[in-house]
Amino acid sequence: MKLEEAVFGGGCFWCTEAIFKSLKGVEKVTPGYAGGNMDNPSYDMVSSGTTGHAEVTKIEFDPRTISYSDLLDVFWQTHDPTTRNRQGNDIGTQYRSIILYKDEKQKNEAERSLKNIENEKVFKDPIVTEIAPLEKFYEAESYHKDYYDKNIDAPYCQFVISPKLQKLREKFKAKLKE
């Protein structure tokens, strides 16, 4: 089985990791940093807003089970792509909405997906999602991995991530792992 990769940023990577690892065909989700201007950033550096990196997730998926296009649909519907450098109370460039493509095929699919969302007027405000080439992905520190699963009772998980997972279950039930 040849896995493919997608890299998205839709706010806090704790949220996006929990969302994408719930999907059939997704084999691995890794939180990390991308889109910035320094090598090997740490969480503290990225959180300062000075590195230019976004919190992102690298999604390794089986394209025979779930397509890149399906992942884009989930991406658009599980965060607010109309708020610049912010998702809810998470504010800063590290929380921006971003699609980082690995090749021209992904770039074209991301741009087509964006146009479709705009044409369908899914959101009342203009979409500010950045579409850019993936230059480097830096894996986040180990304590960020599986954050939701390890901290499900934490207030952030209950008040921010759980509602996003509920929305995912409502909109994409057929695509979820059992």
pLDDT in tens, the chain (178 residues): 799 999 999 999 999 999 999 999 999 999 999 999 999 999 999 999 999 999 999 999 999 999 999 999 999 999 999 999 999 889 999 999 999 999 999 999 999 999 999 999 999 999 999 999 999 999 999 999 999 999 999 999 999 999 999 999 999 999 999 8
pTM of the model: 0.95
Active site positions, annotated: 12
Write out the DSSP string of the chain.
---EEEEEEES-HHHHHHHHTTBTTEEEEEEEEESSSSSS--HHHHHTT-S--EEEEEEEE-TTTS-HHHHHHHHHHTS-TTSTTEETTEESGGG-EEEEESSHHHHHHHHHHHHHHHHTT-SSSPP--EEEE---EEEPPGGGTTHHHH-TTSHHIIIIIHHHHHHHHHH-GGGB--
CATH class given for the domain over 4-175: alpha beta
